[in-house]
Structure formats: structure tokens, C-alpha cells
Chains A and B, each alone.
Chain A
């Protein structure tokens, strides 16, 4: 579970905010104690446990390699992919530069077509707004479409605390909810579970399999498991009075909202209930209708590896006699404006949540989503979560990467994730008031490297490490601190018998 640990103290500042001086921006980040942006332990500790779980690694390796191959095939089919990617990047940059104006236009358009727009400074405020709206309808249950924003703010917990039952309807979200688990991937949140594990969760929790007369014949074929979910949810869809969704896109100039999905659970939620409440991060906007022509090509191919996902629903306010007759749009900040304040980091707001960067990431593939402690895992999570919470609350995440750059290449809107990671690491180091062992080591190294005599001495000293390695190719994992900080999660090669300079001198007689 990624329950946020109770913490007190003031909410930290935005990572880009200068910590003193007159240009102090002081924009608040996502508050502590609510939602799922912070893990209860640092990434390296959580990752070490995940690495020991052989089943998890097998499930993840299979899933990520399958989806990488699918994506590569359908992206390869598009001759103008790079042009679309550059258009997507520019569109997002342009949107952010005028975000306030576009949001106001969106509000005008949604309102003009019978919707109601609400603004939420943070998770607590958004949860309170949604809870109040649900209560006003008199119902005590809601159906939900998979939505990152509502996971981020911990909406399900807030609803449950108010006596309202949220039913997740996406198959993977349902598996996670019934298993009392946490999502581990943006697109396929139950990627860490295999069919046998899913079967066990269904048999244990679905009412249709309980009771002495229940037919408990459920093979672990994906088709049969999907049908069990269909049966489980059908009745809930037909009786639901209120649905809660996220949004993949909102078009400012027309007020159109879009949800991209596969199973039809989204359509059920967006079509059948009387009331629809959509929670959307303020960055999900595009300025014009035409802009969707770019993103509706980029997203499905990058995400599920399909030319187009089975269903995309678009709606504007309320349509008489078709779909929900009451529509509320909740616009959520929750740290996004703090991200926007950082000129380097703000690119993380361009993310369209396709999950391509997760699937290509060697770190994600081995550690899985839970290690990141946030609903946003993988490379994008490593840059987004610390910015939303303030870097000190997710200080280990900017280091959860080998900076190999695969994420940047895969990203359909060309977010330069490695550069943001490096930027956040610098922010984190700068924010440390006392000298860390690593900083001290690099200081000493800088000094040694700028003096040839000292450098030779240093290299000779490193040769002593061979004694510790006892002839093995890597150093033992249990070095005394501060070296343990490095060797806990990395192999440190045993120093060679002689240095390059020594070898050169020997062979060339100098």
C-alpha cells in the first residue's frame, strides 16, 4: 500500500522556488497527509525488496517487453511520427505559456453548455468538493473511470470516510481495488499480478462467487476473468446515479472533454448516470479543437501500442437527452503551479500519461511501480512526484534512474526527462544544509584531480581496494559508510592491478 505517512510541518516549497531573496515565489506544493504522491520509504529500500520478488520481476519483464514490441510496430507505421512529436511538444509548451487564459476560456465554454466548473487548490479541497457534490445527489455509491488525478488526491479514501462507496470499473483498477492493493503502472495498474493471482482475488472477493450455491468454476484464462468482471460490474453500471472520471484532454476553445479507453467501462460511466463529475489537473488542456488531431495520434500508439484505442468519448457540458444531465468539472492544482514555476521542471507538465517511458525504463522494469511510492511511477514519476510534493518529500526519486535516455526517446511529446532529473538532483543537493558524504567525496575528488601528484596518490590508494575484494570482480556489498551508500544498490568493480598511467609508463618506458 502506498498510504501517505502522517507528517507534520509546513508543506515544502516548490523545487524551483528560490529559497531566499526578493524573487521568492513561495508556491505551495501538494499537501502532506492526503493522497498518494509520497512513499513511506525511500526508493532504494523499496526497490531492494521488489528486486527480491522473482514473480514480480517475471510479470514485469513479460509485460514491458510485450508492450514495447507492440508500440514499436505501430509507431514504425507512421511516417510523420517525429513531426507529430515535435508538434505535440510545441503545443504543450504553448499551452503552458498561456495556461491562465486557456483555463478561463475552458470555464466559459463548459459553463455556456450547461456544465459547472469548480477550482481546487489542493487534494483536500478537491476531495471536499466531490464529496459534497455526491452527497447532494443523495446516493451513497459512485462508479469510477480510471483516473490518475483521483488516485493522486486519494479520492476513494475521502469518499469512503464520508460513507460513499466508490466502485472502480477499469478491469485493472478493479483488480487493484478488490485485492486491497496499489496500482503499479499508469496504463495497466495490475501489471504486477499474473492470471493466477487475479483469479484468486476474484474468487475471494466478488459476491457472485460467494455463498454455498455459488458456481466457483473460474479458469485463469484472461477471457474468463474479463467476463467475470463484466458480470460483476454490469449491475453496478445500470443502477449508478453518479460517475466520477478524469480527463485525458480538455479543449479550451470549445469546452470539449475527452476520455480515452478500451473496455467500454468509461463509456458506461460517461453515458448512463444522471450526474458526471470530472476531476482534471489544470495542465490537461489543449488550446484548440484542431490540436487533438496531434494527441489522438500520439497517445494510443505510445500507450497501448494500438493504432487507436477501442473507445474515445468526447463531450461538452450537457447534451439534452443524451448522457448525464448534470456535469461538474473540478480543476485541480495540487502542486502543479509549483511545477510550472520551475523553468526546467515545468516540462513534466506536458506528460499525456501514455506510460511509454515506464515500459522502456531499465529501472522500472526491474523494480516495478510500487517502489516509487507515488501513483506516478517510472521516469515520469521520478520527475513529477518530487516537484508536486517538493523535492525534500521525494528526495530519492530523482536518483531512481540510470540517465540512459530511453525515456526521452520514447516520449511522444519529447519530454527531456534526463535533464529534469539532473536538474532536480542539483536542487536536492543545494537544499542540503550540511555537507553530504557524497558531496564531500566529490569535493575531495575535484581537488585530487586538479593536482597530478595528488591524483597519482589517490589512484594508488584505490588499488588497496583489491585487498578487500579478495580476487572477486566486484567489491563486497558491505563496505563501511559512507561507501555503503554507493555499494548498497550498485556493484563497484574491483580496482585494476595497475592504473592506466602505470600501464602506459610500463609499456612505453616512461
Chain B
């Protein structure tokens, strides 16, 4: 018998003939009725609580605010060529002279100082940004290797909780949920921001 057949037959033996029909009570919250502006405020609060920086702006100031975000992350005087941009990011958001991700070998992305992407959805209650591998979010290595990550979140992308976010996402896309900069609490349970992922996360919230 192959291992597959054997494991399956063990499971059938273990469960026997009478398998219970189990109903799943879903009495938890699946929607958040709070007004959009209130959700955005919760999002900002949660992002800042986990040491991300947030800059807010109107739809026509995204480019300037991204530049300010890069000032925050890299310090003034950064080199635009050292910023790598996900290919689907609108031209108006990009700093002049930034490098578009051209699909080069992933490890070469480590040479960039910062990354600029959009997101697929943002979860207010947990302060989470979800990147989904589309051209706007970029491939996974782009938002991972450079030490500073700038994400632009648009007003319509903010939802209240986890259930609403998952219902908007495609389950087979490569998904990365980001909640603050990378962190560890492995030494005496003391939180340290920034280990292997980007040590700085700056969010530009457009609304």
C-alpha cells in the first residue's frame, strides 16, 4: 500500500462509520457598519500603535506625500533611483527618476533603499495592509528586501475587520498581510521593530 493509501485508510478506520454532521455557528461579526472616516481613524491609530508612520493627503497630493513619506523613511536627500516601484503604481504617485521593478532576479532588489507599492485592501481593526501580487502590489520580493516600505492606501480600500478583507481577496493569489514593520519579541518578550523585513513602514492614506 502506498503511504497515501495507508494514511487515508487509517483516517477512515479512526473515524469509523458514523461521522457526526457538525454545524458551524458563525455568530461573530462579519461586517462593520461604522462610517468610512471612523474606520480610517481606527486604521491610523492601529498602524501607529505598531510603529508604522502614517501621512494623510487628498487624491491630488499623492505624489508629494509619497516624497514626504520617503523623507520620513530615508531622511531628506534620498536618491530617486534607489527607490523601486511596483509596476502597476500610477505615474502620478512615483517620484521622478524612481526605478520600476523589471522582473530582475529577486535578490538584486536588496540593493534598493526603499519600495513604493499600492495595496489590495487595508483592515482597520488590526492595522493590516494586504498585498496580493498584482502589478499594483508588486511581487512578494519587492515589498520584502528594501529596508523601507511605502504603501499607498486609497479610501475605498479600507474595511473594518478580517472577514470583510478576506471576502475581497483572491485565495490563490500570493498574499502578504503586513501589520507594521517586521518585529521580534524573542528576547525577553521585548518587542524590537525591524528584523529581516523592512525596518520602516510608512503609509500614505488617501482620503
Footprint of B on A, CB under 8 Å?
Answer: 25, 27, 59, 62-63, 66-67, 79-80, 83-84, 86-87, 90-91, 93-94, 96-100, 103-104, 113, 118-121, 125, 169-172, 175, 188, 190-191, 194-195, 198, 222-223, 225-226, 229-230, 233-234, 237-238, 251, 254-256, 262-265, 267-268, 270-272, 282, 289-290, 292-294, 296-297, 300, 304, 306-317, 319, 321-323, 331, 333, 337-338, 340-341, 346
B152-167 at interface with A (beta carbon < 8 Å): 161-163, 166-167
Q: Which residues of A contact B139 (CB under 8 A)?
A: 321-323
Using A226-B192, A265-B196 as known contacts, say yes or no to A307 and B186 having CB atoms under 8 A apart. Answer: no
Contact at B11–A337, with CB atoms within 8 Å? yes
Are B46 and A307 in contact (CB-based, < 8 A)?
A: yes
Q: Which of B99-129 contact A (CB under 8 A)?
A: 103, 106-107, 110, 123, 125-128
Cα A285 to Cα B34 in complex, Å, equals 33
B76 at the interface (CB under 8 A from A): no
Give Cα A103 to B2, complex, Å: 15
Q: Give the total number of A-B pairs whose CB atoms are below 8 A apart.
A: 245
Q: Are A120 and B3 in contact (CB under 8 A)?
A: yes
C-alpha spacing A263/B7, complex, angstroms: 35
CB-based contact A294/B28 at 8 Å? yes
**B13 to chain A: which residues have CB within 8 Å?**
25, 27, 337, 341
Chain A residues closer than 8 Å to B184, beta-carbon distance:
171, 226, 262-263
A251-B171, A256-B172 as given contacts; A333 in contact with B7, CB under 8 Å: yes
CB distance B195 to A121 under 8 Å? Answer: no
Cα(A66)–Cα(B74), bound, Å: 33
B33 touches A (CB below 8 Å)? no
**A271 near B106 (CB under 8 angstroms)?**
yes
Contact A254–B162 (Cβ < 8 Å): no
- Residues of the B chain whose Cβ atoms lie less than 8 Å from the Cβ of A98: 19
Nearest A residue to B21 via CB reads: A97
Known: A308-B177, A323-B140. A230 touches B195 (CB 8 A): yes
Point out which of A169, A296, A308, A333 has the most chain B C-beta atoms below 10 A from its C-beta.
A308
Question: With a CB–CB cut-off of 8 A, which chain B residues contact A313?
Answer: 140, 174-177
Q: Which of A84, A293, A331 has a CB less than 8 Å from the CB of B7?
A: A331
Cβ of B15 and Cβ of A340 under 8 Å apart?
A: yes
Indicate if B81 sits at the interface (CB-CB under 8 A): no
Q: Given that A267-B140, A268-B144, A307-B125 are known contacts, is A262 also in contact with B14, CB under 8 Å in the complex? A: no
Q: Which of A118, A170, A314, A331 has the largest number of chain B CB atoms within 10 A? A: A314
- B contact set with A: CB distance below 8 Å: 2-4, 6-8, 10-15, 19-30, 46, 50, 103, 106-107, 110, 123, 125-128, 133, 139-141, 144, 161-163, 166-167, 171-190, 192, 194-198
Q: Are B175 and A99 in contact (CB under 8 A)?
A: no
* Shortest distance from the beta carbon of B35 to any chain A beta carbon, whole Å: 18
Chain B residues contacting A346 (CB-CB under 8 Å) are 14
| In the complex with contacts A119-B4, A256-B172, A314-B174, A319-B195 CB distance below 8 A | no
- CB of B24 within 8 A of CB of A91, answer yes
CB nearest neighbor in B for A100: B11
A172 near B188 (CB under 8 angstroms)?
A: no
Q: Is the CB of B185 within 8 A of A188?
A: yes
Bound Cα distance from A83 to B188, whole angstroms: 33
Interface centre among A262, A268, A282 (most CB of B within 10 A): A262
A264: which of B26, B27, B172, B196 is its contact (CB, 8 Å)? Answer: B196
Q: How far is the CB of A206 from chain B (nearest CB, A)?
A: 15
Residue of B nearest to A314 (CB): B175
Contacts of B126 in A (CB 8 A): 300, 307-308
Decide: A222 and B7 in contact? CB cutoff 8 A: no
Inter-subunit contact A311/B20 (CB<8 Å): no
Smallest Cβ-Cβ distance to B161: which chain A residue: A297
Contact A267-B197, Cβ < 8 Å, known A119-B7, A255-B172, A312-B176: yes
Quote the shortest CB–CB distance from A284 to chain B (angstroms).
14
CA distance A254 to B25 in the complex (A): 22
